[in-house]
Each structure stands twice: as C-alpha cells, then as structure tokens.
C-alpha cells in the first residue's frame, strides 16, 4: 500500500488528528497489513507519571478490555514505547452525538433509539464491574449507520477500586452531567451516578439544552442537588415520568437500569417479535447488529434452536433430556445474577464465568461423579436473550431434579 504519513511502531500509518486533551492526542490511522482504519490514542507517559495518573491509565485499559459490546468503542491492543502509550481502538467515523445535539433537539423516536443503545451499553459495563463516570454526548460517537458507541473510559472505575464503605470517593465527571451525590463528596455508587448522567443525556437529546444550567456554578450545583428542572411543553407524559425517576437526587430511590429497560416509553420499538432476516440483507439499524456481549446467534442458529426444528425428541426420552432452552427479555446481567442466586440456593458453585457462559458445579460427588451444568446466554437483541442450560457431567436424574 502507498504510504502517505509517518509509520507508528512499524505497523500503523498515522493520519489526521481527531482530538486532543491535556495528556493525550487521538489520531486516525490505518493498519499497513490489513488496510483497516483505526483510532490511536497517544498518551504522554512523562506527563501522566508527573501527575500520578499511571494507575488511572491502567484502570482505563482494564475497563476497555472488560466491556466489549456493540455499543462501546472496542480496544484492539495497547502498545508502549519509552515515552508514549498507544491505545489502538475501533475507528468510528460518524462523529460525536454532541454534533447532532448542538443543531437542536432530536425527534422522540431518534432520541429513544440512542437512549436504548446507551442504556444497553451502560448496563453491560455495570455487569462487568465498570462504571464510566463521564457519560455525556461528547463521549458518545455515532458510526456510519447511526449506531451509538460509548467512548473515553479515562475516568472509569472498577468494582475493586471502591473503598471499605463500598463507595467511590473521587469527584470527577463533567459538572452539568454529574450526579448530586458525586458533588456532595460523601461517597457514591458509580452505577447509580452513571444512571443520573444517562438521564441528563436523554433530557438533552429531547430538549436541545441542559436540564440544570446556570451562569453561577454553585447555583447550578444547588439545582442538581435538589433535582430542580422544568420540562419543555413538547415532552410526552411517559418520558416525563421516566425522567423524574432517573433524575431523582436521592440515589437510594433512583430507578435502576433494569426498571428503565422495563419502562413503557423505553420499550417502544423493542417489543416486536424478533424476525429472521435474510443473511445477505445489510441492516443499517441498531439493535439487531454485529458483535454481542454474550454468544452470537445468526438467523440460521435462531431457526435451528426453535421448537419446530428441534429434532432431539427423535433420539432421546423427554424425561431424560440433558438440555433446556428459554427466552428472556431481562438484561444479560440480570439473568447471570439470577443464575448465581439459584446456584447458591442449591449449594452449587460457579466454576467459570466467561462472556455469557457460566459453568456451575455441585459441591459434592453424585452417583456418577460431580454434577456439572453449563448455562449459556445468547443475545438475539440487546433486550431479548436465549438461555441454554445443559448437563456436561454427572447423573441425569440429579440434573433433572
């Protein structure tokens, strides 16, 4: 391939500058071997060492490796030289969601679609123990098909970074989007504060301006602390009710992501039965696409797993069947939590948990060895999952019980 720019670490041809911060620059680049476009975040190692931010950089890397999801910018690899750290990431060429918002409010259906994708991504992040802590339209990118991608995990926190009280204590984020409990500096639940930021984003998408704004920063913080804001007259009653539950200044009574995903306004457009789409037809829309946080199912997999095409009854007794399947409209994280609770009740242990696959093992030996069960979650859409439970080892009667 013809080279036009400087070559980075003998592998990537560096292109135009996409963005710049205090400690890093982001460039467009292309892989010289494959020709694939990537974004490369170049971090100045000397600067971050001077201000003691190396641990936060390590956290950012860990967080991005944990949250591989269709609506999150993917981290491909991390490289380093003596002076620089390089994040090689998915290149998203549609620009920031912020660029759409500055032109004015979005139509309700468009705002809902972006919000659905945002909640799907944030829910998955939380299920992996990652809190973003800086959610705002500037950190939400849009790809060429209009799909939302969460980016910039520079302020993220992992579950293990909580203090002994189980809370986070670092005050961070963008003032207009930050939750009241973060401002109060008494410790906060990072997942709850992310939900607040999602609510501010939804308001901005529908209104075209911020719910909490004032030229005086302290006055703006006072409004945030009390949850004081007004709805424009074009906000529908359903979305008003949802936003009042999200922008609740009390984190203990603030709505959960699970409840958001069950809300009637949120579910519009998602409750249709999943359709089997011709594999050759490219779907530009969002929620039926590409990579998944669990296992991937294509159209032919879905057909083969449906009851009408299940041929297992010809070969095995229904009473002795070693696997069962069911669908759920709950989030993957909720299904995993439920399976974990059931395992504890049955005094079984989770042996391995890996991207939608749980290996469950009995704590004692059975008639035919230790009972082992695989529970695998397949994503049909971010809001419809197929769960397959099957016996891998042990006595079938014990498994049936």
Query: Phi, psi at residue 276, to the nearest 5°?
Result: -80, 115
Contact 350, 340 (CB under 8 A): yes
Catalytic residue among 44, 55, 123, 134: 134
Strands 295-296 and 369-381: parallel
CB burial of residue 83 (10 Å; 0-12, 13-18, 19+):
exposed
Q: Please give the angle made by the CA atoms of 113, 238 and 178, to the nearest 5 degrees.
A: 65
Q: Whole-angstrom Cα distance, residue 26 to residue 123?
A: 27
Q: Give the contacts of 177 (CB within 8 A, at least 6 positions apart).
A: 134, 135, 136, 196, 197, 200, 201
Main-chain phi, psi angles of 39, to 5 degrees: -110, 135
User: Is 134 one of the annotated active-site residues of the chain?
Assistant: yes
Q: What radius of gyration, in Å, describes the C-alpha atoms of the chain?
A: 23
How many other CB atoms are there within 10 angstroms of residue 132's CB atom? 29
Catalytic residue positions, numbered: 134
């Amino acid at each position: 391939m013809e080279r036009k720019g400087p070559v980075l670490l003998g592998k990537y041809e560096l292109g135009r500058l996409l963005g710049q911060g205090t400690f890093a620059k982001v460039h467009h680049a292309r892989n010289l071997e494959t020709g694939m476009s990537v974004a490369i975040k170049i971090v100045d190692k000397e600067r971050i060492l001077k201000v003691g931010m190396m641990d936060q950089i390590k956290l950012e890397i860990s967080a991005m490796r944990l949250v591989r999801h269709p609506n999150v910018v993917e981290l491909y690899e991390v490289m380093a030289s003596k002076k620089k750290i390089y994040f090689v990431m998915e290149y998203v060429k549609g620009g920031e969601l912020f660029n759409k918002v500055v032109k004015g409010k979005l139509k309700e259906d468009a705002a809902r679609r972006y919000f659905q994708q945002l909640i799907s991504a944030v829910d998955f992040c939380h299920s992996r123990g990652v809190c973003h802590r800086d959610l705002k339209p500037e950190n939400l990118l849009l790809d060429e098909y209009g799909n939302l991608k969460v980016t910039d995990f520079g302020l993220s926190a992992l579950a293990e970074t909580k203090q002994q009280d189980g809370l986070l204590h670092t005050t961070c984020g963008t003032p207009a989007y930050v939750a009241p409990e973060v401002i109060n500096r008494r410790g906060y639940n990072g997942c709850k504060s992310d939900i607040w930021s999602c609510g501010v984003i939804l308001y901005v998408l529908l209104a075209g301006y911020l719910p909490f704004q004032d030229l005086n920063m302290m006055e703006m913080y006072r409004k945030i602390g009390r949850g004081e804001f007004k709805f424009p007259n074009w906000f529908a009653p359903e979305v008003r009710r949802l936003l009042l539950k999200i922008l609740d200044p009390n984190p203990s009574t603030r709505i959960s992501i699970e409840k958001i995903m069950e809300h009637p306004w949120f579910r519009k457009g998602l409750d249709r039965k999943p359709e089997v789409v011709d594999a050759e037809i490219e779907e530009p829309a969002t929620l039926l696409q590409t990579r998944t946080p669990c296992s991937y199912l294509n159209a032919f997999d879905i057909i083969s797993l449906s009851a009408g095409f299940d041929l297992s009854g010809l070969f095995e007794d229904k009473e002795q069947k070693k696997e069962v399947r069911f669908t759920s409209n709950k989030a993957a994280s909720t299904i995993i939590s439920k399976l974990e609770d059931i395992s504890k009740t049955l005094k079984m242990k989770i042996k391995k948990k890996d991207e939608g696959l749980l290996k469950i093992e009995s704590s004692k030996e059975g008639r035919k060895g230790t009972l082992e069960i695989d529970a695998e979650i397949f994503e049909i859409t971010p809001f419809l999952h197929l769960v397959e439970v099957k016996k891998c080892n042990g006595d079938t009667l014990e498994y049936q019980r």
